[in-house]
């Protein structure tokens, strides 16, 4: 497993729009503020041309080929030591055929993002054997002041932080930015839940995962190297982490069944699920459907490995930086707290 060089003062961070561009003036102000904050913390931030581009009719920052061109250019630039996605959206996967994988293997660097960015992170880790970071997009660096999670996440990429402890509160859903400088709302108390396993839960293995909506899209394509990856690291075992955007009960049931039939969970040491953003457990006629936790247990409980729910991963921030490919210990305790420690 290739671990990219950790960030140090004076390094550049490249920002590129691999899904949707940032075309709203308030959001553009937030991004420019984020670049200034980066400078005050010792890092240069360079935006590719597509970050503030006008979206096309599908909301994209450009064609798959054009987005990959911008990404490959950042990989080539020696001063750029990390690439952080501008944001999420849709259609990132269409750039994967044009990503120069051999170039990335020769010049590995941190790539970070979440949601739709799962596609490229998962591809780079399972096919190039390079660690990638599932964490906040660049928009979060524009808040004032920085949330603890933002500063801590940057310190993870600097190699300073090896242990991440659960936060106290989280924002339950998205919020519109009025000034461009907003941080997270403290809507609800963070409570990690042990769905399977004896409390306290402790598991160790290599982390792998992301947004389940996106993973189900690329599973089985040429950009999915899961089976080879988990076989290579079967002695360590895999801790799968998932979160979801808007999967419903049926999609979750069918999706987890599909991944299991593909052999993905053969060497699983456990599962960690983040807080789902939009989960619909109501049928078209109003009939109640199983809860998120019920679906997970129905599909995975008989594997007899620990399962943690509602962890600090994904769309309901603040969130951890989960490093794909790195060996970690994940713990959950009876009081609703949790911890991820990199070994």
Query: Does residue 283 have a pLDDT over 80?
Result: no
Where residue 158 falls among pLDDT bands split at 50, 70, 90? very high
Where residue 282 falls among pLDDT bands split at 50, 70, 90? confident
> How large is the average pLDDT for residues 33-55?
97
pLDDT of residue 281: 77
Question: Any idea which fold 169-342 has?
Answer: Glucose Oxidase; domain 1 (3.50.30)
- Give the 3-state secondary structure of residue 239: strand
Of the candidates 84, 109, 93, the one whose C-alpha atom is nearest the C-alpha of residue 17 is 84
pLDDT digits (tens, 9 = 90+) for 308-334: 999 999 999 999 999 999 999 999 999
Q: Judging by DSSP bridges, how do beta strands 307-311 and 132-134 pair with one another?
A: unpaired
> How large is the average pLDDT for residues 214-225?
98
Q: Sign of the C-alpha dihedral, residues 180, 243, 67, 16?
A: positive
In the chain, the percentage of residues whose pLDDT exceeds 90 is 96
- So what's the architecture of 12-162 in CATH? 3-Layer(aba) Sandwich (3.40)
What is the domain partition of the chain in residue ranges?
A: 12-162, 169-342
pLDDT of residue 340: 98
pLDDT of residue 174: 87
The answer to whether 110 touches 79, Cβ cutoff 8 Å, is no
In the chain, the percentage of residues whose pLDDT exceeds 70 is 100
pLDDT of residue 280: 80
pLDDT digits (tens, 9 = 90+) for 285-310: 778 889 999 999 999 999 999 999 99
The predicted model scores a pTM of: 0.96
pLDDT of residue 212: 98
User: Any idea how long the chain is?
Assistant: 343
The answer to whether 162 touches 6, Cβ cutoff 8 Å, is no
pLDDT digits (tens, 9 = 90+) for 233-262: 999 999 999 999 999 999 999 999 999 999
pLDDT of residue 288: 87
HEC sequence for 128-183 = HCECEEECCCHHHHHCCCCCHHHHHHHHHHCCCCCEEECCCEECCCCCCCCCCCCC
> How large is the average pLDDT for residues 122-144?
98
Where residue 145 falls among pLDDT bands split at 50, 70, 90? very high
pLDDT of residue 73: 98
pLDDT of residue 175: 83
Cα–Cα distance measured from residue 231 to residue 68, given in angstroms and rounded to the nearest whole number: 29
- Give the 3-state secondary structure of residue 238: strand
Residue 292 CB contacts under 8 Å (≥ 6 apart), including other chains: 252, 273, 276, 279, 281, 309
């Amino acid at each position: 497993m290739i671990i990219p060089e950790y960030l140090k003062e004076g390094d550049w961070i490249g920002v590129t729009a691999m899904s949707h561009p940032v075309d709203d003036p308030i959001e553009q102000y937030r991004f420019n503020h984020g670049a200034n904050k980066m400078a005050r913390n010792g890092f240069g931030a360079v935006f590719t041309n597509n970050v503030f581009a006008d979206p096309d009719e599908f909301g994209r920052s450009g064609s798959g080929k054009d987005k990959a061109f911008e990404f490959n250019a950042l990989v080539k630039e020696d001063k750029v030591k990390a690439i952080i996605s501008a944001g999420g959206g849709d259609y990132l996967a269409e750039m994967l055929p044009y990503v120069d994988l051999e170039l990335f293997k020769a010049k590995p660097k941190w790539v970070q993002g979440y949601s739709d960015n799962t596609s490229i992170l998962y591809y780079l880790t399972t096919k190039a054997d390079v660690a990638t970071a599932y964490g906040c997009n660049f928009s979060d660096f524009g808040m004032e002041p920085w949330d603890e999670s933002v500063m801590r996440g940057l310190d993870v990429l600097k190699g300073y932080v090896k242990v991440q402890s659960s936060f106290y509160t989280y924002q339950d859903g998205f919020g519109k930015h009025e000034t461009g400088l907003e941080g997270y709302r403290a809507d609800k108390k963070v409570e990690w839940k042990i769905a399977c396993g004896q409390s306290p839960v402790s598991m160790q293995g290599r982390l792998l995962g992301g947004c389940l909506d996106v993973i189900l899209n690329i599973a089985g394509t040429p950009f999915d190297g899961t089976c080879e990856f988990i076989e290579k690291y079967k002695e360590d075992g895999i801790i799968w982490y998932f979160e979801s955007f808007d999967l419903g009960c049926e999609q979750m049931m069918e999706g987890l069944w599909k991944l299991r039939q593909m052999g993905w969970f053969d060497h699983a040491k456990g599962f960690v699920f983040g807080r789902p953003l939009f989960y619909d457990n109501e049928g078209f006629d109003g009939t109640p459907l199983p809860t998120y936790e019920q679906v997970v247990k129905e599909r995975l409980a008989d594997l007899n490995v620990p399962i943690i729910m509602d962890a600090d991963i994904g769309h309901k921030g603040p969130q951890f930086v989960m490093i794909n490919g790195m060996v970690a210990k994940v713990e959950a305790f009876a009081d609703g707290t949790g911890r991820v420690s990199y070994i």
